[in-house]
Amino acid sequence: MDSIKAIEALGSLAQNTRLDVFKLLVRHEPAGMPAGEIAKRLDVPPNTMSSHLSILSRADLVTSKRQSRLIIYRANLATMNALMAFMLENCCSGEDCAPIANQLERLCQ
């Protein structure tokens, strides 16, 4: 991942509702969720949710697929993994990075 893509991804997550959307979609992997259900769960008007989902899609943090009349959104974990790798690529392998590595290991089990 290059700096421009990292800034776009971080910028798209730098808003409370979009961060909540991404976290909700991560919890619903791999099935994803319809846009209307996301809006209902987060108590956000559908037109506002559409805007948030578009921003996350442009940053490649969510993907969408039409299923009949519904659009199902999923978290793009590959992009998040690339973003995390970009953020940590210059991290030392010493004790300063141990807390991050330990937490990631614990979360990924």
Domain extents in the chain? 3-107
For helices 3-13 and 16-27, give the axis angle rounded to 10 degrees. Answer: 100
Burial state string for 25-55 with b = 16 or more CB within 10 A and e = fewer than 16: beebeeebbebebbbeeeebeeeebeebbeb
pLDDT bracket for residue 64 (50, 70, 90) = very high
pLDDT bracket for residue 93 (50, 70, 90) = low
pLDDT bracket for residue 108 (50, 70, 90) = confident
Contact 76, 12 (CB under 8 A): no
Say which residue, 25 or 89, is predicted with more confidence: 25
Contact 12, 61 (CB under 8 A): yes
- Does the pLDDT value for residue 42 go beyond 70? yes
Pick the CATH number of 3-107 from 2.60.120.460, 3.30.420.40, 1.10.10.10, 2.60.40.3080: 1.10.10.10
- How much is the pTM? 0.87
Q: What pLDDT does residue 59 have?
A: 98
